[in-house]
Amino acid sequence: MLANRLEMLSPELHLSENTPRVLKSARLAYATDCVYVYAEGNAVVVRAEEDYFVIRELSLKDVYATVQSVFDSFENWCAQLEELAQEGNFQKMTEMGSVLLNNPLAFLDQAYRVLGISKSSSEEDLGDEWNYMKKYGFASVDGPFTRDAQLVNGRSFFTLSGARFYHGVSVPVSFQNEEKGNLCIIVKDRILNCGDFQILDILSRAFGRMLFSGTIQKDYSFSSSVFEDLLCGERMDTELLKTQLELRNWGEEDVYQLYLLEFFSSSARRWQLRLVFRTICGCLKEAQAVILGSQIAVLYNCSRGKLDHPGRKLRSIAEQNHMTGSCSLSLEGIWVCPYLMSQAAYVLNHMGQEEQPRFFAPFVDCALDYVLESQNLEECVYAVHPKIRSLYQMEEKERSVMLDTLRAYLRNDTSLVNTARELFIHRNTLVYRMAKINEYLHESLEDRGTLAYLRLSIRVMDLYKKRV
């Protein structure tokens, strides 16, 4: 492993297959379980027992510092790997392994379900089977990953047909002598050596513990990264997102709502966040939960979910775990998720500035401030009262009496007499219309905050119609 990391220094290798696999650090004097770095003539030798390699044209000081930095970075890599294992994030662990091994990597469970697959390889390079796994999340029934392969030292070897033939190695993932899946590495960019198999063994043990612990939910381990990109407004594989929606029986035009949770205390530990995350995944199976830094985002499908008020369950979880939470509006279309994220994040930030922070708050409590502070008209359009947006959409198809009536009612400061006079209708007709509007909005038109939100929503939509 150490020699692989120092490949750019062109070391002269004198290594055997039995090179020690557990080394702690570099030393300028001999020490157990450490590499001994010393000068020999004009060269520097890096030795572990009988195995060593030689680096020329660098000073002892520079080589020692470089070797020690490799140990430090590897220790950080292992710590990050363990943290991701605690989170149950197969995908990011696979990507980390792929970067270190400098080759494409995939992790499949015993049912040949893809739990993680590296993203760096182009589709043309690795062929149909690799593309199939990336798109559908499973190996094909006749692919090289599901066929019996030649076994050597517990590892199986296969060939992947793409733009050219690539060889691959499959390493079993086991825990307590029970096989749980396989790590499959494609020999594409660099030939494998014993150092690479050391890394594969570390990854295998980490994956095995994850599968044994049962902390991974059935779907989110592989797909959470694409939802993370979606919520953060990052570039993503849209076909992969559509595939994940199909697997959940979710539609692109369904109504979605986003919930965001974080701890009151900034000193909360990472394992505490992961514990709440797993709790949410276990009790809200109709939602997609994602860890974003120190926050947990929960995307709920209002069209397909069975809970009328998922926020009640999330609020209960938040209170029990000393967390604060927010929720966005409920909007139609999976592609509006970045706006939902922006709304929920704004509410959390607003709550953090309150003298007595609340456990939970909806976006409507901050909607006026959000619109007034926003410098993006389209962002404002998605922040208006959802029912007002629906009324404008209805008006595009046919003239909406409901919208005209509400606009006049607000313009006349909720005066029935003046509104009826402006609309040239009888007062009883207006009372009937306002009852229907109340029923449609599910809001009290006697609340000043609601009236202000409705007025601003109409103003924003009118301005948007003029612009477009």
CB atoms within 10 A of CB 146: 15
Of the chain, the end-to-end C-alpha distance in Å amounts to 59
Q: CA torsion 157→136→258→343, rounded to 10°?
A: 90
Mean pLDDT of 175-191: 81
Mean pLDDT of 140-158: 61
> Higher-confidence residue: 436 or 21?
436
pLDDT at position 142 is 56
pLDDT at position 218 is 44
CA 41 to chain centre: 52
pLDDT digits (tens, 9 = 90+) for 373-419: 998 999 999 999 999 988 888 877 777 689 999 999 999 999 999 99
> Cβ(188)–Cβ(126) under 8 Å?
yes
Mean pLDDT of 302-319: 83
Q: How confident is the model at residue 143 (pLDDT cuts 50, 70, 90)?
A: low
pLDDT at position 377 is 92
Ranges of H-type helices in 15-159: 60-87, 90-101, 123-136
pLDDT at position 215 is 47
pLDDT at position 222 is 37
Range in 50-59, 249-258, 438-447 the model is least confident about? 50-59
pLDDT digits (tens, 9 = 90+) for 35-46: 888 888 888 887
Place of tokens 């939509």: 461
pLDDT digits (tens, 9 = 90+) for 262-273: 988 888 778 788
Range in 65-69, 333-337, 362-366, 415-419 the model is least confident about? 65-69
> Cβ(260)–Cβ(296) under 8 Å?
yes
In whole angstroms, give the CA distance from residue 316 to residue 312: 6
CA 344 to chain centre: 16
Count helices and strands in the chain by DSSP H and E runs: 17, 17
**For the chain, percent of residues with pLDDT exceeding 90:** 29
> Higher-confidence residue: 162 or 101?
101
pLDDT at position 161 is 67
430 has pLDDT over 60: yes
pLDDT at position 425 is 93
CA distances in angstroms from 203 to 101, 196, 260, 394, listed in the order given:
11, 11, 31, 55
Dihedral over Cα of 296, 297, 299, 305: its sign = positive
Mean pLDDT of 178-192: 83
pLDDT at position 221 is 39
Give the chain's domains with CATH numbers. 2-81 (no CATH), 88-213 (3.30.450.40), 221-374 (3.30.70), 386-467 (1.10.10.2840)
59 has pLDDT over 80: yes
DSSP 3-state of 101: helix
**For the chain, percent of residues with pLDDT exceeding 70:** 87
Spatial strand order of the sheet with 165-175 comes to: 114-117, 105-109, 178-187, 165-175, 155-161, 150-152
CB atoms within 10 A of CB 352: 11
Q: Which of 219, 212, 179, 73 is nearest to 227 (CA)?
A: 219
219 has pLDDT over 50: no
DSSP 3-state of 267: coil
217 has pLDDT over 50: no
In whole angstroms, give the CA distance from residue 107 to residue 94: 7
Average pLDDT score over the chain: 82
In whole angstroms, give the CA distance from residue 109 to residue 114: 7
Angle at 400 between CA 396 and CA 406, to 5 degrees: 125
pLDDT digits (tens, 9 = 90+) for 79-116: 888 888 888 888 999 999 998 888 999 998 776 778 89
Angle at 301 between CA 300 and CA 303, to 5 degrees: 150
Please give the structure tokens belonging to residue 129. 């089977």
> Cβ(1)–Cβ(199) under 8 Å?
yes
pLDDT at position 344 is 96
Ranges of H-type helices in 232-289: 238-248, 270-283
| Range of 22-36, 285-299, 310-324 with top mean pLDDT | 285-299
* pTM of the predicted protein model: 0.55
Q: Which residues, including other chains, have CB under 8 Å from residue 164's CB and lie 6 or more apart?
A: none
Helices 270-283 & 310-320, crossing angle to 10 degrees? 150
